[in-house]
Structure 1
Amino acid sequence: MATQAQIGPGSGEDFAESTVSTVTVRLMPLLGLMYLIAYIDRQNISYAKLDMVGSLGLSETAYGLGASLFFLGYFLFEVPANVFLERVGARIWFARIMFTWGLVTVLLGFTQGTAMFYVLRFLLGVAEAGFFPGVLFALTLWFPQAHRARMIGWFMIASAIANAVGAAIGGALLGLDGVLGLAGWQWVFVATGVPALLLAVIVLRVLPDGPETAPWLTKDQRDWLSRTLRDEREGGSHVDHGNPFAALLDKRVLMLAAVYIAFPLSAYGLSYWLPTVVKGFGVSNLTNGFINVIPWLVTAVALWWVPRHAARTGAQGNALTWHVVAPGLIAAAALALSVVVPGNALKFACLCVAAAGTFSAQPVFWSMPGTFLRGASAAAGIAAINSMGNLGGFVAQNVVPFIRDQTQSNLVPMLFLSACLAVGACLMFVVLSALRRDAIKRGSAPTAARTA
């Protein structure tokens, strides 16, 4: 927390809290809405798949490859996209991202065959590359370190809401089969792509590039934010490599990137296949959609509670690490149990716990890069970690359907996800402990957030 001297005469802690609250109220709903639409456009294929596979004559394996090409495009273009964002500003770059991914999503609704499906999924990854890490980088420009894990938690709640909303509308859109001559799976893409096109215009008009251009902050608030963030960047072990791409060789970035892979792998494997698993319970598409709201509501609660608990307990060191590792281990156990417990209700309950654990481990994790990177290096480093992690999504979308085809079971692939997540969580403990020791050696051990 900033000192009285940092804040300025006559302002005190109340002024700091008020400033952070103002930024939170003005900024986070828009960023959350953007992520909600992004996630719906990323996940809509899991519902379109229920009819799309038969309509286009795709095998489960061919579908999995097409779905996974999103992550290949994302991986190849994410770091350059984030470096470019740092140079041109969030407003223009986020608007460009939203417009292009909305356009590609609508075009997916008019897919004519396997090759077109593959190309458009790859282009969707290219279009969206840089959005998630771009927001994480943007948060380092708006919030002091003490508040970032909680803000990332609020931001990621949008992904849970998106899964819930997507689940509710996905099944309903499939029910529009034949309306205006479009199949139900086509409506899934068209109806979820148009909102991104509309929001791109809003983002271009209302999103500031940073605190210095925010009309809703007073001069004193802008000065306090600027001074506090500058003091954090100049203190401790923050690094700004001369060439931002040099951050890709920072050993701390490489360690975080390597262990993070397990979390997107499990998250995407689970979220893409939950509708298929639930359909195996013998329900209609509409019922399937509404049942799948439940896991993401549970996940939203976990995303709110875990970083808040880390903040309120003042966790640091190994205690802070456990706010990443423990949810991952719980999720791994729940995925394994979903295969062996009897009855659909218990299986589904396990999958709800698995979803909550997999996602809620990530807000505190994503507060870590900001403790040692700054400027363009932070943009490149965060993007590198996320792009490497999203290779887990590429793996999940190929291995999960392959296991399903080989075993003819929708639940056996959960054992693969469980094993990957268990290994990743254990390695995460080792890596985050190493980062903590490195930070102590450099004189800047990270501490958890206090609530704003």
Structure 2
Amino acid sequence: MSQSTIAAAGGAKSDIETSTINAISWRLIPFLILAYFFSYLDRVNLGFAALTMNAELKFTPLIFAWGAGIFFIGYFIFEVPSNLALEKFGASRWIARIMVTWGIISALMATVSGEWSFYILRFLLGVAEAGFFPGIILYLTYWYPAEYRARFLAAFALAVPVSTVIGAPISGYLLNLDGVMGLKGWQWLFIIEGIPSVLLGIVTWFYLTDKPERADWLSADQKAWLSARLKAELAAKQAATHLTLGQALSSPKVIALSLIYFGFVGALYGMQFWLPQIVKAFGLTNVQTGFVTAIPYLFGTVAMILWARHSDATRERVAHVGAPLLLTAIALGASSYLTDPTATMVALTIAGIGVFCTFAVFWTLPTAWLSGTAAAGAIALINSIGNLAGFGGPYLIGWVKEATGNTSTGLLGLAILPLIAGLLVFAGQHKSAVEFAGQPQER
């Protein structure tokens, strides 16, 4: 978030522009990364809990797949209403509510005793967390001009790979708490990783500022500059297309973006929930599994930052979304044919790079031409439809594993989702010129 970073998207910036973007970024981005870190960790730590929980509770691969995926059914049902509530009640209150409730339910996962308690708590976790991610995407459009969005959306989304880079080894260690105070290691994992979300949710209520005009940490000149820039962009969007909420939700473009996101999410969560078990099958301990599982996400983190900066610098979005999806498909397909552990991890690392490069830029596509309530509803719809793949991807691998005893064919089937998504990106001709309308062209 240095001055050189900010200047990357174009020519020299004015002092007021540089100072405003710096002030916003240091105030919001680190806090939002931390919040999303715990959100994502609480969502996917099930993959590590499964290393011991499945055997202790006698969960088959299919039961685990249902439990992993049913989260996304609750998430889907409540996603759009939750994002509209954020638009109505304000980010600080609604995001705080989301974080406190998901943290409590995540910790309660330690009480799972059988198949149905597993399904119910995972479903409720999805209900509780619905609206958080699209809410933050919408929230960032209140603060950042379009020119800056890819890099700062990527900065926020860094929490996803980082949650595994840091969380995977920690989760591996927490499993070793087996027997402490009479609890299993997987129970301690859920409790210890759920509590921080509750505490951070309470802080969120007081820390987040809903809109720039309420930011007493910006000067009057900074508020004036930001307001003028955002109003110019909004006017350009509305001149190009102005949609009601209903029109946005039924727009073919929104539906296409939802399907593209579906392909991306299927690959993301198919890897996320099953990678620890794939790695553990190499004959590693729980702690070793944690460190090896982190490798694709470590490389993905670096690639994500560089890819977002490149997209902003070139002011191009479509190829920056479509190409990584095709790379992911190829790498997942290749991994299904490999038997050597090292070669398998190389292929899965390349798949991880493709996944996170896609994540870095994807959300610039809908935010380029949507605003207001239409943006709130459409972003939530795209995210909710896309996240249904969070059920389909893990379930596909679980079904194949139960039928065949291995995950190889499942990874090959999973590769089809990002392949179709990548082709849709290029076929759909998602133009992003409007994104940079209303601002000087400095290149």
Please indicate the TM-score interval, normalised by the length of the shorter structure: over 0.9
Q: Which amino acid in the other structure matches residue 86 of structure 1?
A: E
Q: 1:449 to 1:101 in 2, by over 3 A?
A: farther
Q: What TM-score does the superposition give when structure 1 sets the normalisation length?
A: 0.91
| Corresponding residue number in structure 1 for 2:90 | 89
Q: Which amino acid in the other structure matches residue 68 of structure 1?
A: G
CA shift for structure 1 position 211? 1.1
| Corresponding residue number in structure 1 for 2:386 | 389
| Contact map agreement 2:33 2:159 (CA 8 A) in 1 | yes
Name the CA distance, whole Å, in 2 between partners of 1:338 and 1:189: 30
Name the CA distance, whole Å, in 1 between partners of 2:289 and 2:219: 49
Name the CA distance, whole Å, in 2 between partners of 1:220 and 1:258: 42
Are 1:219 and 2:220 matched, yes or no? yes
Q: 1:84 to 1:246 in 2, by over 3 A?
A: farther
Name the CA distance, whole Å, in 2 between partners of 1:449 and 1:287: 51
Are 1:284 and 2:285 matched, yes or no? yes
Residue in structure 1 matching 2:376, options 376, 379, 391 = 379
| Contact map agreement 1:145 1:449 (CA 8 A) in 2 | no
| Corresponding residue number in structure 1 for 2:8 | none
| Corresponding residue number in structure 1 for 2:326 | 329
Name the CA distance, whole Å, in 1 between partners of 2:417 and 2:235: 38
Please give the residue correspondences for 1:70-219 in structure 2 after superposition, counting only pairs within 5 Å.
Answer: 70-219=71-220
Q: 1:397 to 1:449 in 2, by over 3 A?
A: farther
Which one is further off, 277-286 or 352-361? Answer: 352-361
**Per-residue Cα deviation, 1:371-390 (whole angstroms, up to 9, x for no partner):** 21111111111010010100
Name the CA distance, whole Å, in 2 between partners of 1:31 and 1:240: 30
| Contact map agreement 2:256 2:424 (CA 8 A) in 1 | no
Are 1:428 and 2:429 matched, yes or no? no
Paired-residue identity, %: 38
| Contact map agreement 2:162 2:297 (CA 8 A) in 1 | yes
| Contact map agreement 1:146 1:449 (CA 8 A) in 2 | no
Name the CA distance, whole Å, in 1 between partners of 2:227 and 2:33: 24
Q: 1:66 to 1:138 in 2, by over 3 A?
A: same
Q: 1:84 to 1:372 in 2, by over 3 A?
A: same
Name the CA distance, whole Å, in 1 between partners of 2:232 and 2:251: 23
**Per-residue Cα deviation, 1:242-268 (whole angstroms, up to 9, x for no partner):** 4x3442112221111122210000000
| Corresponding residue number in structure 2 for 1:347 | 344
Which one is further off, 253-262 or 75-84? Answer: 253-262
Helix, strand or coil for the counterpart of 2:408?
coil
Q: Which amino acid in the other structure matches residue 159 of structure 2?
A: A
Helix, strand or coil for the counterpart of 2:112?
coil
Which one is further off, 276-285 or 364-373? Answer: 364-373
**Per-residue Cα deviation, 1:302-333 (whole angstroms, up to 9, x for no partner):** 11011111122x233xxx31111111111111
CA shift for structure 1 position 35? 0.4
**Per-residue Cα deviation, 1:257-289 (whole angstroms, up to 9, x for no partner):** 122210000000011111011001000111101
Helix, strand or coil for the counterpart of 1:368?
helix
Q: What TM-score does the superposition give when structure 2 sets the normalisation length?
A: 0.93
| Corresponding residue number in structure 1 for 2:315 | 315
| Contact map agreement 2:331 2:350 (CA 8 A) in 1 | yes
Q: Which amino acid in the other structure matches residue 230 of structure 1?
A: K
Name the CA distance, whole Å, in 1 between partners of 2:395 and 2:146: 37
| Corresponding residue number in structure 2 for 1:5 | none
| Contact map agreement 1:149 1:449 (CA 8 A) in 2 | no
Helix, strand or coil for the counterpart of 2:336?
helix
Residue in structure 1 matching 2:414, options 414, 417, 432 = 417
Name the CA distance, whole Å, in 2 between partners of 1:178 and 1:60: 25
Name the CA distance, whole Å, in 2 between partners of 1:423 and 1:114: 34
Which one is further off, 20-29 or 129-138? Answer: 20-29
**Per-residue Cα deviation, 1:92-136 (whole angstroms, up to 9, x for no partner):** 001000000000001111112111111110000000000000000
CA shift for structure 1 position 51? 1.1
Q: 1:173 to 1:325 in 2, by over 3 A?
A: same
Name the CA distance, whole Å, in 1 between partners of 2:197 and 2:271: 24
**Per-residue Cα deviation, 1:15-49 (whole angstroms, up to 9, x for no partner):** 11221121111110001000000010001100011
Name the CA distance, whole Å, in 1 between partners of 2:362 and 2:130: 20
CA shift for structure 1 position 215? 2.0
**Per-residue Cα deviation, 1:332-362 (whole angstroms, up to 9, x for no partner):** 1111221223521111111111011112112
| Corresponding residue number in structure 2 for 1:53 | 54
Residue in structure 2 matching 1:404, options 401, 404, 415 = 401
RMSD: 2.0
Name the CA distance, whole Å, in 2 between partners of 1:141 and 1:189: 34
Gaps of 5+ in 2: 1-11
| Contact map agreement 2:16 2:221 (CA 8 A) in 1 | no
Are 1:364 and 2:380 matched, yes or no? no
Name the CA distance, whole Å, in 1 between partners of 2:292 and 2:326: 25
| Contact map agreement 1:311 1:450 (CA 8 A) in 2 | no
Q: 1:394 to 1:376 in 2, by over 3 A?
A: same
| Contact map agreement 2:269 2:390 (CA 8 A) in 1 | yes
Q: 1:450 to 1:154 in 2, by over 3 A?
A: farther
Helix, strand or coil for the counterpart of 1:109?
helix
CA shift for structure 1 position 419? 1.8
Name the CA distance, whole Å, in 2 between partners of 1:257 and 1:271: 20
Name the CA distance, whole Å, in 2 between partners of 1:421 and 1:143: 29
| Corresponding residue number in structure 2 for 1:6 | none
Q: Which amino acid in the other structure matches residue 183 of structure 1?
A: K
Q: Which amino acid in the other structure matches residue 292 of structure 2?
A: I
| Contact map agreement 1:257 1:388 (CA 8 A) in 2 | yes
Gaps of 5+ in 1: 1-10
| Contact map agreement 1:339 1:415 (CA 8 A) in 2 | yes
| Contact map agreement 2:237 2:370 (CA 8 A) in 1 | no
| Corresponding residue number in structure 1 for 2:41 | 40
Helix, strand or coil for the counterpart of 2:138?
helix
Please give the residue correspondences for 1:223-234 in structure 2 after superposition, counting only pairs within 5 Å.
Answer: 223-234=224-235
